[in-house]
């Protein structure tokens, strides 16, 4: 093969490679959304956790206890019942798997477990132009907000009480405990959202924490600190051998 033909073949191969590299391409990423938003779930479970932290279970320590959860109908029932058991165990309560193994019965109930939302908009609201005005075509003028703000709130209300299984005598009550959580979204001149609220532990813009000094010691920072605080070391050191396995009612 002549050198001229070899050079022509090499040039042809190089052009083909360059053509493949320069050719337009496309890719796809498959995404999906859950039926419930993460924000809603955080609002509800954070409000519940905050309410549960206010309950003092120490008056129930030392006696075998059965936790009755049949009255709990919250949407996050698994989280609610499991966190109840953890809180009781952490504070030294002796839980039993069956009512007949316990001396006291603790009944839990949920009075409220849901979200609310309110919003505020400063600017021109969306306006529908009717066809009855001569010279002006019918249609819809979109809203033009200067400032737009929405605030979601999660709310949890719980109560527990205990009674003696054999006699039915009232033993203890937690009282009614109420707690809330919040998520805030703000748009300024169409820029946003600037996000804040207790579930985020500060103010964020496109995922970046904003250094706002007023939040350093505010109530939302305190709530976030409580949620991230470790369990009581003294409770964790309690030996499992203190359980009354041989108890017979």
pLDDT at 20: 54
C-alpha 42/C-alpha 24 separation (Å) is 42
142 pLDDT tier (thresholds 50, 70, 90): confident
Average pLDDT over the chain reads: 80
Higher pLDDT, 151 or 3: 151
pLDDT band at 234 (very low <50, low <70, confident <90, very high): very low
Res. 71: pLDDT tops 50: yes
Q: What is the CATH number of domain 36-122+144-233?
A: 3.40.50
What pLDDT is attached to residue 245? 43
- The whole-angstrom separation of Cα 161 and Cα 159 is 7
Kindly indicate the confidence band of residue 162, based on its pLDDT and cuts at 50, 70 and 90.
very high
State the DSSP code for 190.
T
Give pLDDT, residue 243. 41
Task: Return the SS3 of 194.
Answer: strand
Percent of the chain with pLDDT over 90: 49
pLDDT category of residue 128 using cuts at 50, 70 and 90: confident
Choose among 202, 192, 156, 195: nearest CA to 41.
Answer: 156
Per residue in 169-207, pLDDT (tens digit) is 999 999 999 999 999 999 888 788 888 999 988 888 777
Q: Where are the domains of the chain?
A: 36-122+144-233
pLDDT (tens digit per residue) in 29-58: 888 888 999 999 999 999 999 999 999 999
Pick the closest to residue 160 from 75, 219, 83, 245 (CA basis). 83
Has residue 81 got a pLDDT over 70?
yes
pLDDT the model gives residue 25: 57
Of 227, 245, 213, the C-alpha closest to 53 is: 227
pLDDT of 8 > 60? The answer is no
> For residue 113, what are its two tokens?
């477990």
């Amino acid at each position: 093969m002549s050198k001229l033909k070899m050079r022509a073949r090499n040039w042809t191969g190089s052009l083909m490679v360059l053509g493949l590299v320069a050719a337009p391409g496309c890719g796809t990423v498959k995404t999906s959304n859950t039926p419930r938003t993460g924000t809603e779930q955080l609002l509800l479970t954070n409000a519940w956790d905050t309410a549960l932290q206010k309950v003092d279970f120490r008056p129930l320590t030392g006696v075998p206890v059965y936790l009755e959860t049949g009255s709990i109908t919250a949407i996050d029932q698994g989280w609610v019942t499991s966190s109840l058991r953890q809180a009781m165990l952490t504070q030294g309560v002796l839980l039993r798997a069956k009512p007949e193994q316990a001396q006291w019965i603790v009944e839990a109930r949920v009075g409220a477990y849901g979200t609310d939302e309110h919003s505020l908009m400063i600017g021109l609201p969306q306006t529908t132009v009717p066809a009855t005005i001569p010279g002006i075509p019918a249609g819809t003028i979109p809203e033009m907000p200067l400032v737009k703000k929405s605030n979601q709130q999660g709310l949890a209300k719980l109560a527990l009480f205990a009674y003696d299984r054999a006699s039915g005598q009232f033993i203890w009550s937690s009282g009614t405990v109420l707690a809330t959580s919040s998520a805030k979204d703000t748009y300024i001149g169409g820029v946003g959202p600037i996000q804040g609220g207790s579930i985020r532990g500060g103010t964020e813009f496109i995922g970046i924490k904003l250094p706002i000094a007023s939040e350093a010691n505010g109530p939302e920072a305190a709530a976030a600190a409580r949620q991230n605080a470790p369990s009581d070391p003294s409770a964790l050191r309690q030996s499992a051998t203190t359980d009354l396995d041989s108890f017979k009612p």
